[in-house]
Chains A and B, each alone.
Chain A
Amino acid sequence: MTAEAALRSPREIRRARYLGITYLVLSGFVLWFFGIGSWGEGIADFGMARPTDTFDWIPSLPVPAAAFAIGVAVVFAFMGGVQLVRGFGRWQNRILAIAFILFIFAFLGWAAAGQSFNLVGMLRTAVERSTPITFGALAGLLGERVAVINIAIEGQLLAGAFAGALVASITSNAWPGVVAAVLVGLFFGWVLAVLAIRYRVDQIIIGVVINIFVLGLTSFLTARILAPNPHLNRGIKLNSWRIPGLGDIPVIGPIFFDQTIFVYASLILVAVLAYTLFHTRWGLQARAVGEHPRAADTVGINVYRYRYLNVLLGGAVAGFGGAYFTIGTVGRFDENMTTGRGFIALAAMIFGRWHPVGALSAALIFGFADALAGKLGILQTGIPSEFLLMAPYIATLVVVTGIVGKARPPAADGQVYVKE
């Protein structure tokens, strides 16, 4: 016992203690606001199917809000106690995730008490909203795994959205728009790559410049070209496609398998990257380039080629993800329609610890916050939805400060590599 206690550093001990206290505070909070607060407000009726679903007769899930919140409060109190007394060890972060989900449901129960609320519909929206964040996070991850920081994701998304809408409108077909979005993303990836790798300009500065440039350019073109010529911004889009079989599964089907190709592509890309990054030559060599470029160089790996390749790939991915904003949802381009999703994507990448599956999980959480913010107005809770839109940033701050364990970026991240 003493030996183990000695091995734990003061920071870890402090962190465990903060977590325990946080659980206790949350317990009190949930008990007071969600438990007492929804006392007598009755039952929150969570809808589990939409009228258009194959199994539209699935009954809704009635949750007695107050009782549920009180139950959550008790669980929180228990978790806080255990955390303070002996800690959860390796389970600490998993317990934290469970606590997060419980808190959300206690909150939802409180917000929807006495009303009915379509849970499946909201989760579907959450998955949809998370898609561009996932693409952005994967783009960032591709770059940072080879030690090139890509702050320009926001710009690449916006450029992709614009090019997608414009080209789709010109050709009256969504697919050329998608291709154009990818090419434009690729172009800005190339700009970043050349400036960062060949000319060794500070990567953060290039990223900021690209973001401002794209915002300015698309705003200008929107005002001068799209606005006077409505036929150039006609709202051409891809419809959602219910995958035969998978899309018919109750609950899961409508959430994941009745979506646009963007959602499917993001899920496939996450799986592909999770495999290739950790099980293929490309992945191993790319990670070596990001961790210790000189070591990679000395075994004959071309560091610059990997950096170019990954940054270009990242640009293409971000461009494709940008097309989601126009072709994947509303079809029409609006000024600054990405509204900071590229930065949330960076947060998701860090939150997901530079792992594709982690990035997807983080993006889903942030997408959930986004979808929830949209629903709050309908539920009339009185909470400004802007608070929820802050959630990704707050979550990222928490991660960066190390409460959820240390997030370790690739060792050479952001560093210029100069061949000897």
Chain B
Amino acid sequence: MELQLRGITKRFPGVLANDRIDLTVRSGEILGLLGENGAGKTTLMNILYGLYSADEGEILIEGEVQQFSGPGDAIAAGIGMVHQHFMLVPVFSVAENVVLGVEPTRRMPAWLGPALAGAFGAMIAGSSFALSWFGWPTWLWAILMAIVGGAVGFLARWAWPFLTRSKGKARRGGSINMREARRDVREISERYGLEVDPEAIIEDLPVGVQQRVEIIKVLFREAQFLVFDEPTAVLTPQEVQEFFGIVRSLRDAGKGIVFITHKLGEVIEISDRIAVLRDGRVVGEALPGEVDQNCLAEMMVGRPVELTVAKETATPGDAVLEVTDLVVLDEREHPAVNGVSFRVRAGEIVGIAGVQGNGQTELVRALTGMRPPLRGSIRIAGEEVAGADPRHIHRLGVAHVPEDRLRHGLVTAFTVAENMVLDSYHSAPYSRAFVMDWGKTREESRRLVEQFDVRTPSIEVKAANLSGGNQQKVIVAREFGRENVKLAVASQPTRGLDVGSIEYIHSQIVTQRDRGAAILIVSTELDEVMALSDRLLVMYRGKVVAELDPKQVTPAEVGLHMAGAKL
């Protein structure tokens, strides 16, 4: 089979997200779709999956033009998508998630509906026995209503498929046959080697397993073409290898696969063919045997790119941050950080690697005062700050680039200028008594915008209207632009950014280090922490399980630690 995209164009206000894109995927091949964040990959796949409709162009399967008005149509046409953010209901079981929307049902016995409706009718008549309409006795009414109810029941039975119209594998009837669902899940998981317990609840499962559930979900819908959107972002290097094994076996089973990523190494490793997307256009196609990473990077970004971070050897000074036996609870009151001790010295970058959800978020929150720790000590420049409030910690010279820039880094409804002084608006020179000094504020933010190369039409633009890269630059400018940063805590500093912004933010971090600041980088992108750090810590289940020299280890070794393997 062949899936073809022909001349797909999609415009959003002010942006041409997809510009006449042509792509073809055949059964039994893996197409790598490489592109930076913002290149239009996700838009394209949402069009393919029926979530958006294209302004121009068409989708063909086996040469036939398809009309998708929603994901249901795409699923029915044999297209399956594994989303970057899993589309699983956390409180449902594996089997329930897999069958959602195409549930196998038990047939309701034909007499049940009419019988119930008849009984209801009789009851209505029976309970109004005091009223004797037309002089008829109550029992006559009861019988009559039973007949009417029965008729209504039959009518409803007949109308049911129209009322619950849904396409694809939908079957008649309402009662879900969970036993059949579990059996189907087990069958698929055995056939493709996707081990999972059909009765497990999603929120109790690790992400790697959740991804398997997503794949089973797609296979259950008998998809012929599978689209994976950044599937490796949440996996350890070992899990990535396992995942690649699964993808290859799916290809060998005759599925056509689209693998969307921005990771150069992975796209070369797994693809049979590579298409590179830039600014909404396909800028080139390549075969993985014929290109190297540098060449692909250049196609992806449009100019030669430095893939490593340029920095001198660190010359660490005194310890700035000392963490001892720290225990932090997460929202569900479980110890997410469970007895962590480490130090960060002035003039060095310490990286924390780990799979998402191993306590990094809570560690950073405790360090920056956003969540008081249960036990343990945090000393910054000699002062105990465990449980202190964020402003107090900030005043000690701590810069914080938070994990989620839209929720904790910026007020998106505020202007760039306002966001630039979010940490210092309350004191001179930006305010006096209760009154803001907007002149000073604008002056300072103009300086920062220029110094940190924030691309914004004006400082009066709302932060929400900037691109992700520029939003991140606003945060970095605010946090790093102060004098005398002693400690910088940066969490996922480059998540979802384009290569240019990544390069810039990395260089700012190194500059801060060379100025003498202590830097703590937390990132789930292993390549990033390995390139930036002078010293690498690995977190697994709330503990620091390894301290490594990034120059001495391979990603695979770090990956083993990330997976909790004892070496």
A-side interface residues toward B, CB under 8 Å?
A: 9-12, 173-175, 238-241, 260-261, 264, 268, 276, 279-282, 284-285, 287-288, 291-292, 294-302, 411, 419-420
Which 6 A-B residue pairings sit nearest by Cβ, starting from the closest?
Answer: A300-B72, A9-B333, A299-B101, A295-B87, A241-B127, A280-B174
Q: Is the CB of A282 within 8 A of B87?
A: no
A52 to B76, CA, bound (A): 63
Give the residue name and chain of the A residue nearest to B178 (CB): A279
Please encode chain B, from 405 to 432, with 1 for each CB lying within 8 Å of some chain A CB and 0 for all others.
0000000000000000000000000000
Please encode chain B, from 72 to 105, with 1 for each CB lying within 8 Å of some chain A CB and 0 for all others.
1101100001010001111110001100111101
B89 / chain A contacts, CB cutoff of 8 Å: 287-288, 291-292, 295-296
CB distance from B295 to the nearest CB of A (A): 34
Q: Is the CB of B333 within 8 A of A285?
A: no
Q: Is the CB of A264 within 8 A of B100?
A: no
By secondary structure, the B interface counts as loop
A257 to B174, CA, bound (A): 30
A281 / chain B contacts, CB cutoff of 8 Å: 103, 105, 164, 174, 176
Given contacts A238-B127, A261-B124, A300-B72, contact A12 B168 (CB under 8 A): no
B126 within 8 A of A: yes
Within 8 A of A (CB), among B186-224: 217, 221
Given contacts A285-B100, A288-B100, A420-B52, contact A298 B127 (CB under 8 A): no
CB distance from A143 to the nearest CB of B (A): 18
CB distance from B524 to the nearest CB of A (A): 22
Q: Is the CB of B130 within 8 A of A9?
A: no
Give the residue name and chain of the B residue nearest to A406 (CB): B332
For the A-B complex with A281-B164, A291-B92, A292-B90 known, give 7 more contacts whose Cβ atoms are closer than 8 Å: A9-B332, A238-B128, A261-B127, A279-B176, A280-B175, A299-B75, A300-B168
Q: Is the CB of B103 within 8 A of A299?
A: no
CB distance from A245 to the nearest CB of B (A): 13
A292 / chain B contacts, CB cutoff of 8 Å: 87-90
Q: Is the CB of A411 within 8 A of B91?
A: yes
Give the residue name and chain of the B residue nearest to A172 (CB): B131
CB distance from B139 to the nearest CB of A (A): 11
A71 to B89, CA, bound (A): 48
Partner of A11, one of B81, B83, B100, B333: B333
Q: Is the CB of B100 within 8 A of A284?
A: yes
A287 to B133, CA, bound (A): 43
Give the residue name and chain of the A residue nearest to B43 (CB): A420
A12 to B329, CA, bound (A): 13
Give the residue name and chain of the B residue nearest to A6 (CB): B335
Q: Is the CB of A175 within 8 A of B71?
A: no
B129 / chain A contacts, CB cutoff of 8 Å: 239, 241
CB distance from B177 to the nearest CB of A (A): 10
Please encode chain B, from 46 to 57, with 1 for each CB lying within 8 Å of some chain A CB and 0 for all others.
100101100000
Q: Is the CB of B90 within 8 A of A291?
A: yes
Within 8 A of A (CB), among B24-73: 46, 49, 51-52, 70-73
A63 to B83, CA, bound (A): 65
Q: Is the CB of A10 within 8 A of B92?
A: no
A333 to B326, CA, bound (A): 64
A288 / chain B contacts, CB cutoff of 8 Å: 89, 92, 100
Q: Is the CB of B176 within 8 A of A301?
A: no
B340 within 8 A of A: no
**Which of A9, A10, A264, A299 gathers the greatest number of chain B CB atoms within 10 Å?**
A299
Count how many chain B residues have C-beta atoms less than 8 Å from C-beta atoms of the other chain. Answer: 49
A11 / chain B contacts, CB cutoff of 8 Å: 333
Given contacts A292-B88, A420-B46, contact A284 B103 (CB under 8 A): yes
CB distance from A241 to the nearest CB of B (A): 4
Q: Is the CB of A264 within 8 A of B123?
A: yes
Q: Is the CB of B175 within 8 A of A260?
A: no
Q: Is the CB of B100 within 8 A of A301?
A: yes
B167 within 8 A of A: yes
B374 within 8 A of A: yes
Q: Is the CB of A279 within 8 A of B175?
A: yes
CB distance from B333 to the nearest CB of A (A): 3
A344 to B462, CA, bound (A): 43
Q: Is the CB of B166 within 8 A of A300?
A: yes
B566 within 8 A of A: no
Give the residue name and chain of the A residue nearest to B218 (CB): A299
B334 within 8 A of A: yes
B52 / chain A contacts, CB cutoff of 8 Å: 420
By secondary structure, the A interface counts as helix
A297 / chain B contacts, CB cutoff of 8 Å: 51, 70-71
A301 / chain B contacts, CB cutoff of 8 Å: 72, 100-101, 166
Given contacts A288-B89, A300-B70, contact A280 B176 (CB under 8 A): yes
A295 to B85, CA, bound (A): 10
Q: Is the CB of A239 within 8 A of B100?
A: no
**Which of A175, A279, A280, A294 gathers the greatest number of chain B CB atoms within 10 Å?**
A280
Q: Is the CB of B167 within 8 A of A300?
A: yes
A175 / chain B contacts, CB cutoff of 8 Å: 124, 128
Give the residue name and chain of the A residue nearest to B72 (CB): A300
A302 / chain B contacts, CB cutoff of 8 Å: 70
A238 to B127, CA, bound (A): 7
A268 to B83, CA, bound (A): 41
CB distance from B152 to the nearest CB of A (A): 14
Give the residue name and chain of the A residue nearest to B170 (CB): A281
Q: Is the CB of A300 within 8 A of B176?
A: no
Give the residue name and chain of the B residue nearest to A7 (CB): B334
A12 to B332, CA, bound (A): 11
Please encode chain B, from 96 to 137, with 1 for each CB lying within 8 Å of some chain A CB and 0 for all others.
110011110100000000000000100110111111010000
Within 8 A of A (CB), among B467-517: none
Partner of A9, one of B102, B166, B329: B329
CB distance from B60 to the nearest CB of A (A): 21
A285 / chain B contacts, CB cutoff of 8 Å: 100-101
Give the residue name and chain of the A residue nearest to B131 (CB): A173
Give the residue name and chain of the A residue nearest to B51 (CB): A420
B100 / chain A contacts, CB cutoff of 8 Å: 284-285, 288, 295-296, 299, 301
CB distance from B293 to the nearest CB of A (A): 32
A260 / chain B contacts, CB cutoff of 8 Å: 127
CB distance from B173 to the nearest CB of A (A): 8
A420 / chain B contacts, CB cutoff of 8 Å: 46, 51-52
A301 to B87, CA, bound (A): 13
Q: Is the CB of A294 within 8 A of B87?
A: yes
A238 / chain B contacts, CB cutoff of 8 Å: 127-128
Give the residue name and chain of the B residue nearest to A283 (CB): B176
CB distance from A199 to the nearest CB of B (A): 21
Given contacts A282-B174, A295-B89, contact A300 B131 (CB under 8 A): no
A280 to B46, CA, bound (A): 30
Q: Is the CB of A299 within 8 A of B87?
A: yes
Give the residue name and chain of the B residue nearest to A262 (CB): B127
B167 / chain A contacts, CB cutoff of 8 Å: 300
Q: Is the CB of B174 within 8 A of A300?
A: no
A276 / chain B contacts, CB cutoff of 8 Å: 174
Partner of B164, one of A261, A282, A284, A287: A282
A276 to B113, CA, bound (A): 13
A11 to B87, CA, bound (A): 31
CB distance from A287 to the nearest CB of B (A): 8
A291 / chain B contacts, CB cutoff of 8 Å: 89-92
Q: Is the CB of A300 within 8 A of B101?
A: yes
A241 to B123, CA, bound (A): 9
A287 to B81, CA, bound (A): 22
A61 to B217, CA, bound (A): 60
A218 to B2, CA, bound (A): 64
Give the residue name and chain of the A residue nearest to B76 (CB): A300
A285 to B126, CA, bound (A): 36
A284 to B181, CA, bound (A): 13
Q: Is the CB of A239 within 8 A of B130?
A: yes
A302 to B81, CA, bound (A): 18
B332 / chain A contacts, CB cutoff of 8 Å: 9
A295 to B127, CA, bound (A): 45
What are 23 A-B pairs at a CB distance below 8 A? A9-B329, A10-B333, A10-B374, A173-B131, A175-B124, A238-B128, A260-B127, A261-B123, A264-B127, A268-B120, A279-B175, A279-B176, A281-B174, A282-B174, A284-B92, A288-B89, A292-B90, A296-B89, A297-B70, A297-B71, A299-B221, A301-B72, A301-B166
